[in-house]
Structure formats: structure tokens, C-alpha cells
Chain A
């Protein structure tokens, strides 16, 4: 019988207040004298730490460091969290190799900061912005989402990030912006998987504009209150919790507003298996894996997969009237 040790700590991860949240509260208390007015106005103190020089670590060694000024969001799945070790050692990030352990093994060859994000296409204010500039105007939230991989395994991850829609609106997309195309950075010298041909590089993904603007769609910058590790898609990655994991593109270098449905890497590699939408759907059979059930990492037997990964209430309306078997 195999009994996996979660950790030597008897306290369940779900019982722990993430370090950053804890610290952000404490920081709030410490600074409360000077910002008493705002604090009184908001009551909960949630908005207090957000504006101003959001204290984002910017040195190149920052990955793994704490993100400050994180507020708890209402998006919190009430399920046991996966451990830091589960989340950071079991990854599909083919840029570093196809083995689940490869990203953790080789991602230290990658330097995530400084970072430049290029935003363009059908928008009024295209531009290139750096890491701080991406994040600074926004409220940094912790959101606990289920993550469902198309390979029929899943995790529960405490992400830290900003609403993607808020970021996109800064570039004033025009009415021609029907879709959003994303591209991962292309650095074969730092990403050994890109020196091979498992996929065509750089990795590309896409969303419909309403999906991209949906309040649940997150641009993640951290996990467990710490800056997102390289193997999880540093320094910025997408998290679209109702879609299979490969839609949540990592290490995003470019975002483009486009009029036509953009190409996506896995669809180009095997169109019969990976559609543009790739919404988690237990009823749409996949040629490779039954999607009816999934193995939650940390559990031995499989559990039933939920429609839209359990977010049907939140996102079902986006797909009203669509044939989801055809638009898989």
C-alpha cells in the first residue's frame, strides 16, 4: 500500500493563511496610522495595499520571493490545496522538456526578469511594458482555482495575479478585437525544450475576447504568495480555470488583439485532439484520455470531472447555444 506523505507538517495546507496574505494584513496594520482614512472607508482594509508603489520585487533573483500587497479574492475553491512541491515539480511546460519533472529540473536556466510584454493588434494604445508596469496599476489577488489538465489529472492551486481583462482594457481594444492571441517567449538558449521539435516554437494560444475579459481569467504572477517559479510560467502566465491546462499559456511575451480566431499550438500539432475552445467537458470524449474522470494529484482513485471544471455557473453563459461537442 502506498501512502504518500503530504508533508511533515501536521497542519493542512488549506488551514494555513498564505504568507503573503498574512504579511499584507500585518503591513496594513503597521501602516494604518498613515492611511487610516482609506482604511476606515474600506472597512476590510482590502483596498489599502493596492495602489501606490505596489511593492513588487524586481530584482532578477526575485522568483520564489514573496509578493507583497496581495488581497484575498472571492474566487476560492473550498478544496484541499495541492502542496508547493506538487505544484512546482509536476509540470507540463514543453519549453523545458516533455517529462513532467523536466521543467523543475531545467527551468533555472531561464531568466524571467527583467521582462517585456508587447501588446498590439486591434487596439488604440499598443505598447511594450515592463514587469512592474504590467502589475502596478492593478489589484493583486489570491485566487484558489482548480486546474484540470487534458491528461486527466488535476490540482488546486492558490494563484496570485491580476485580472487579465483589467490589463487588456488599458490598451483600449477596438471593436475589431474579436480574439486575443498570446505567445510564449522564444529563448532556445535558455529553454532547452525549444531546441527540440516536440512542438513548433514559440508556443501560441488564444481566447475569444469575451473569454479573455471574463472576470475569472487571471494573469498569474505568483503561487502561494510567492513569485511564480520558472517552471510554472514565470514571470506572467495565463490561468483560465474552466479550460484544459494547456490553454493557460506560460511566460507570455506578447498579446495581440485580432479579428480572426488565432492558431493555437496544440491544435496545430493535433487538431482532432485539441480544439480552440478546449473547455473542460466530461461529456466530450477525447481520443487519448477519457475526460469523464480525473485524478486529483494526491489521491489514488479518480474522481468525476465537473462541467467547465466546476465553473459552469460562472462561465456557462459564454457558450450558450454553442454545440460543445463540435466546438471542443
Chain B
């Protein structure tokens, strides 16, 4: 960042003050970098631990747990975007959503591949049997299947080709996918349901926040905040 003392007289037509739109663009692109780095960190840490032989006695299980947990966490963060946008009355959070969603899918893909290759030895019959026999695997597999079309149609070109209405309708699959993910975690735990219940509660909260009466109230709060910010500084 440049630190040029603002004398006021310096503003020449050649280097105009950045417009509001330009400022917003710069903010969003910086936010994207931050999100990218943060969302990559768990994977980087996992790789580092793997190369150091620091994944414990059962590294395969550890990789499965870490990738699965981050897939669910990031999916939940993705679903926080809309309520956050309403609450703060700003559009920019939406521009981070695709990256978050794709990271969630990336972790889920790693999770699935670990299972398919190392647990199931890429044996389709074994996987099919698991999906049929074990409800938590049914749920996890369903979540994975639902997120595949969302990842494929995440590009701008696909949004254009599908049209915003159909695209948005398809991408509502994120809700059942997240619910299936939370159930997958809840059902696989043997005894201590504490952690999966935390995820399930946060998810439930985020879904409830989308019910029209609550969503309207959130938006009203956001609008209030926006008008207050936009209003000129009144009397001290």
C-alpha cells in the first residue's frame, strides 16, 4: 500500500481517486485471497503432517476424519453467506461463496477418495454394499452425489448457459447436501454425540434463518444498518 500524504492538491486527472466500485472490487479480491489461504490451510497442515509421519497410528483414519470434518465445516460456512449478507446489508459476501463451496467439495472429494481407495480398495461391490447397509454412509454418499453437479455448474459460463433461475434452483441442493452431511457425522459416531450435534445445531440455525419471517427481519436489520451508515454525520 502506498502512503502518500493526502494534501488534497495532489489529485490530478491522471491518477484519480478510486471510485466506490473500484474500492469494492479491491476489497473483494483481497477477501478472496484471504479465504483461499484460510481454506487451504487445513489441507496444507494435513500434507505437512503426512510428510512428517505425524498422523498417528492410523493415518488413513486421520485423513478421513480431517477431510470429512473440513468438508462439513466449509459447507456450513457457505450456508452462512446469505444470512450474513442480509444481516450486514451488503452484497460482497456472496462473491466469496463459490470459492467456499468449491473448497467444501474439494475436501469432500478427498474424503470420498480416501474411503474409496484405501478403505474399499476401489471395489464397487464393497462400496455399493456399504451405501445400502449403513445409513451413515448412505447419507454421506448422497451428500457427495448432490454436490457434484453444483461443482460442475459453478462456473460463470454455466450460470449463463443455465440461466439464473434454473441455476439457483439446482443450487438449492446445497441444503439437503449439508443436512445429509450433518446426519452422516451424527450417525457414524458411536457414543459421544456432542461434536456432531454442534454442527447439526448450527446448520439448523442457518436453515431456520432462511424462513421468510426471519429472513425478512434479518434483511430489515441490514437495511437499517445500511441507511444509518449512508446517512450524513448528524449533530454530535
Q: Which of B106-162 contact A (CB under 8 A)?
A: 118-119, 121, 126, 129-130, 133-136
**Known interface pairs A4-B53, A98-B191, A302-B119. Does A288 touch B134 (Cβ–Cβ under 8 Å)?**
yes
Residues of A within 8 A of B220 (CB): none
In contact, B188 and A100 (Cβ under 8 angstroms): no
Residues of A within 8 A of B58 (CB): 90, 100, 153, 295, 297
Q: Is B190 an interface residue (CB 8 A)?
A: yes
In contact, A199 and B191 (Cβ under 8 angstroms): yes
**CA distance in complex: A269, B57 (Å):** 27
Nearest A-chain residue to B126, judged by Cβ: A290
Nearest B-chain residue to A88, judged by Cβ: B57
Nearest A-chain residue to B189, judged by Cβ: A98
State how many angstroms separate the Cβ of A303 from the closest Cβ of chain B: 10
Residues of A within 8 A of B191 (CB): 94, 98, 198-199, 269
State how many angstroms separate the Cβ of A135 from the closest Cβ of chain B: 29
Q: Is A33 an interface residue (CB 8 A)?
A: no
Q: SS class of chain A's interface: helix, strand, loop or mixed? A: loop
In contact, B57 and A86 (Cβ under 8 angstroms): yes
Nearest A-chain residue to B119, judged by Cβ: A302
Residues of B within 8 A of A4 (CB): 53, 55, 59
Q: Is B50 an interface residue (CB 8 A)?
A: yes
> Chain A: interface residue count, which band?
20 to 34
State how many angstroms separate the Cβ of A198 from the closest Cβ of chain B: 4
State how many angstroms separate the Cβ of B179 from the closest Cβ of chain A: 21
**Known interface pairs A2-B50, A301-B118, A302-B121. Does A90 touch B57 (Cβ–Cβ under 8 Å)?**
yes
Partner of A85, one of B57, B119, B188: B57
Residues of B within 8 A of A301 (CB): 118, 121
**Known interface pairs A300-B118, A301-B118, A302-B119. Does A288 touch B188 (Cβ–Cβ under 8 Å)?**
yes
Q: Would you give the 0/1 interface string for A281-321, flagging 1 where the beta carbon is closer than 8 Å to chain B? A: 00001011010000101101110000000000000000000
State how many angstroms separate the Cβ of B57 from the closest Cβ of chain A: 3
Q: Is B2 an interface residue (CB 8 A)?
A: no
Residues of B within 8 A of A199 (CB): 191
Residues of A within 8 A of B53 (CB): 2-5
Residues of B within 8 A of A3 (CB): 53
**CA distance in complex: A287, B137 (Å):** 11
In contact, A290 and B130 (Cβ under 8 angstroms): yes
Q: Is B60 an interface residue (CB 8 A)?
A: yes
Residues of B within 8 A of A2 (CB): 50-51, 53, 55, 59
Residues of A within 8 A of B50 (CB): 2
In contact, B192 and A89 (Cβ under 8 angstroms): no
Among the interface residues B134, B136, B190, B192, which one has the most CB atoms of the partner chain A within 10 A?
B190
Q: Would you give the 0/1 interface string for A172-196, flagging 1 where the beta carbon is closer than 8 Å to chain B? A: 0000000000000000000000001
In contact, B56 and A89 (Cβ under 8 angstroms): yes
In contact, B56 and A288 (Cβ under 8 angstroms): no
Footprint of B on A, CB under 8 Å? 2-5, 82, 85-86, 89-90, 94, 98, 100-101, 153, 196, 198-199, 269-270, 285, 287-288, 290, 295, 297-298, 300-302
Can you add 6 more A-B contacts, CB < 8 Å, to A100-B56, A298-B57?
A86-B57, A288-B190, A290-B130, A295-B60, A295-B61, A302-B121
